[in-house]
Amino acid sequence: MQESEERGGSTARPEEVAKFDRLAARWWDPAGPMAPLHRMNPVRVGWIAERLARAHGRDPAALEALRGLAVLDVGCGAGLAAEALARRGAAVTGLDAAGEALEAARAHAAAAGLAVDYRAGAPEDLLPAAAGRFDAVLALEVIEHVTERAAFLRHLAQLARPDGGLVILSTLNRTARSFLVAKLGAEYLLRWLPPGTHDWRLFVTPAELGAALRAAGLRVTDLAGMRYDPLGGRFRIARDVGVNYILAAVR
């Protein structure tokens, strides 16, 4: 307990861990409770891969453009983003406090023949041993589910390389539109997500997240919206950050 307090407190919320453990068995079902993440995953992984490849002077369109780059996916769940990045050549470590979700991740990666290093825990559990180890640290659809946000972001920063390591987060903006679209619409009208998946009060604005990242010693370099296209049935990168957005910061 003392060690955790010295590092800023545990960042995992037990009720959130239990919530996502209950969804583990259907995580990889594209028509199941994680359907929005399946629709979002190609655009967010493409956005991440492009920035990470260019940061290392590589062609983002090249096969396995991320080969040899160390990526930590915090809150990886059953591995949607982790597997997609591993297929692009990255050496991916997936981290999550939800044990059932991790078991689903390990089984799916093994069936796909992918080597992803899945570990149980929160980012503070990797410190100090893995400090400065990763070329990119990701927290996708996670920040709105953690406690001790300042500590969580500080841990992410500490895990990124000190000479240009990237920290990339995607989350939901706290706006009236996000309440209507991401909370009422997705959970209660369209039933894309189980009711109660999100607490709108815990959504974070880009300004709030940017300030918190700066306090953690990071500099925001890129911000984009992720907008759902109902005709195409997928998300696209957009200027509009009123609901979903993704940002990159550098250490």
The domain in which residue 152 lies consists of: 2-250
Are 161 and 130 contacting, i.e. CB atoms less than 8 angstroms apart? Answer: no
Residue 202 annotated as binding?
no
Our count of domains for the chain comes to 1
In a 10 Å sphere around its CB, with 0-12 CB exposed, 13-18 middle and 19+ buried, how is residue 59 labelled?
exposed
Query: What's the pTM?
Result: 0.90
Residue 22 annotated as binding?
no
| pLDDT digit string, tens, across residues 162-196 | 999 999 999 999 999 988 887 766 666 666 667 76
Place of tokens 């290392």: 56
For position 164, which CATH number holds? Answer: 3.40.50.150
Residue 140 annotated as binding?
yes
Locate the DSSP E strands across 2-109. Answer: 70-74, 91-96
| pLDDT digit string, tens, across residues 23-77 | 888 999 998 888 889 999 999 999 999 999 999 999 999 988 999 999 999 999 9
| pLDDT digit string, tens, across residues 118-165 | 999 999 999 999 999 999 999 999 999 898 999 999 999 999 999 999
Residue 193 annotated as binding?
no
